Amino acid sequence: MPDQSEMEVLVAARDWQTAGHGVALATVVKTWGSSPRPAGSHLVVRDDGSFLGSVSGGCVEGAVVEEALGVMKAGVPKVIEFGITHQEAWEVGLACGGTVRIFVEPLQ
């Protein structure tokens, strides 16, 4: 670690910010049960909603992007959690039945 794709995510985060975009970084900090991406996996989000990387293999990326846009505006990091138990609250969840905790932070 970081493998090539994680490296690309970090480089994109820097490059997008250098280009003047608002940028937020989401990092998997903990997983329970089966979940497709291990702790340390990154998703970087740009202020226009485009993103690179993965924190769940596609299950919750849409919701994480929304959270990331909010974090960019607020300028304050937050921890969010997705899992089978939160499925109704978030209207998204992990099909595999695992739970994932994600730290979302603005790049400042």
Q: Residues in the site for another protein, rule: CB under 8 A?
A: 1-3, 7, 10-11, 13-14, 17, 25, 27, 29-30, 38-40, 76-77, 79, 103, 105-108
Look up residue 63 and give its two tokens.
């919701």
**Shortest reach from residue 69's CB to another protein, in Å:** 16
The DSSP secondary-structure symbol of 105 reads E
Please, which residue, 85 or 108, has the CB nearer to another protein? Answer: 108
Confirm if 83 and 99 have CB atoms less than 8 A apart: yes
**Is residue 77 helix, strand or coil?**
coil
Look up residue 52 and give its two tokens.
């690179």
Please, which residue, 47 or 91, has the CB nearer to another protein? Answer: 47
**Shortest reach from residue 88's CB to another protein, in Å:** 25
Please, which residue, 6 or 90, has the CB nearer to another protein? Answer: 6
In which element (H, E) is residue 71 found?
Answer: helix 61-74
**% helix, strand, coil for the chain, step of 5:** 35, 30, 35
Please, which residue, 7 or 95, has the CB nearer to another protein? Answer: 7
**Shortest reach from residue 39's CB to another protein, in Å:** 4
